[in-house]
């Protein structure tokens, strides 16, 4: 299979894991999508470094766009890329993040280190009840 | 020094999120068993994907910019670190959002 196919398959697999296997249903929660939006921004920054500096390179047979150049960065945007990285990396990243967060909530729900819970921020030290 | 390029980016990620543990009291590192049980399956699944992708030539690495240590499957050790660091950063982000906004995530003590 190509990276494109595996990326789509991974998204479907992790959606199934979240909704029906671990039943964490993070995809239906505001806390997940807000977190993912923040993570996505930083993924574009850090993955842009991995791909823009040519630390990792991709073959055109596996992705929508063309093969990474031998020297110099690939296109910043276009040719199936965004911030130097193949768009497939967005699928890979989404699956990685969703699997991680689903497992984290699953174990908490099972009672593994459910506490101490997060918060409050240090600047709200007075409302420690929530 | 160039061989540290990959792990330097991972260090950048950790610097970018570990402060949340103190400033937002995310308490992720204070829950090590839960964190470890979260990381293990993720590392295994994405290692297998990585090994397959490398074997098929989907992607490869600039050998001058990675540590040069490999685990079976020709997977650079840097990648194993990546599959641990990104989930840690993700969980820290989730708990940071929860710390500030107080939104439920499904593992609250009163959740059915």
Distance (Å) of CA B42 to CA A111, A114, B45: 20, 20, 5
Q: What is the pTM assigned to this prediction?
A: 0.96
| A33 found inside a domain | yes
Domain count of chain A?
Answer: 1
Could you read off the pLDDT of B15-36 as tens digits, one per residue? 999 999 999 999 999 999 999 9
Domain range for residue A57? 3-105
Burial class (CB in 10 A: 0-12, 13-18, 19+), A43: buried
Which helix (DSSP H) or strand (DSSP E) does residue A86 occupy?
strand A85-86
Tell me what the pLDDT averaged over chain A comes to. 95
d(CA A86, CA A79): 8
Inter-residue contact B45 to B38 (CB < 8 Å): no
Interface test with A, best of B2, B29, B90, B108 (most A CBs within 10 A): B90
Question: Residue ranges of the domains in chain B?
Answer: 2-100
Which of B22, B38, B46 is closest, CB to CB, to A104? B38
Contact A42/B at CB under 8 A: yes
Give the residue-averaged pLDDT of B82-111.
Answer: 94
Distance CA A73, CA A53 (A): 6
Which residue in A39, A97, A105 is closest to B107 by CB distance?
Answer: A105
A126 occurs within a structural domain = no
Res B111: pLDDT: 47
The whole-number pLDDT of residue A129 equals 52
Give the pLDDT of residue A1. Answer: 96
Decide if B11 touches A, using CB distance below 8 A. no
Contact (CB, 8 A) for A51 and A45: no
Backbone angles phi, psi at A23, to 5 degrees: 55, 35
Interface membership of A25 toward B (CB under 8 Å): yes
Which band of pLDDT confidence, cut at 50, 70 and 90, is reported for residue B109? confident
Residue A83 domain-assigned (yes or no): yes
Is A130 domain-assigned? no
CB-CB: which of A58, A100, A118 is closest to B42?
A100
pLDDT in tens, A76-114: 999 999 999 999 999 999 999 999 999 999 999 999 999
pLDDT exceeds 90 at position A126: no
């Amino acid at each position: 299979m190509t990276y494109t196919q595996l990326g789509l398959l991974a998204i479907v697999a992790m959606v199934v894991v979240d909704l029906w296997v671990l039943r964490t249903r993070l995809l239906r929660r505001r806390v997940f999508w807000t977190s993912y939006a923040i993570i996505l921004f930083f993924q574009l920054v850090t993955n842009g470094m991995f791909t823009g500096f040519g630390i990792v390179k991709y073959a055109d047979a596996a992705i929508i766009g063309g093969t990474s150049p031998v020297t110099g960065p690939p296109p910043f945007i276009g040719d199936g890329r965004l911030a130097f990285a193949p768009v497939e990396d967005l699928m890979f990243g989404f699956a990685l993040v969703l699997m991680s967060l689903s497992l984290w909530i699953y174990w908490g729900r099972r009672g593994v280190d459910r506490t101490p819970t997060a918060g409050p921020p240090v600047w709200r030290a007075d409302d420690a009840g929530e | 020094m160039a061989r540290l390029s990959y792990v330097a980016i991972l260090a950048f990620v950790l610097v970018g999120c570990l402060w949340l543990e103190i400033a937002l009291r995310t308490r992720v590192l204070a829950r090590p068993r839960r964190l470890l049980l979260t990381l293990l399956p993720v590392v295994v699944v994405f290692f297998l994907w990585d090994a397959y992708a490398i074997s098929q030539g989907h992607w490869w690495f600039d050998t001058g910019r990675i540590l040069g240590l490999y685990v079976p499957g020709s997977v650079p050790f840097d990648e194993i670190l990546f599959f641990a660091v990104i989930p840690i950063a993700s969980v820290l982000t989730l708990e940071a959002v929860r710390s500030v906004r107080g939104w439920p995530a499904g593992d609250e003590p009163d959740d059915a």
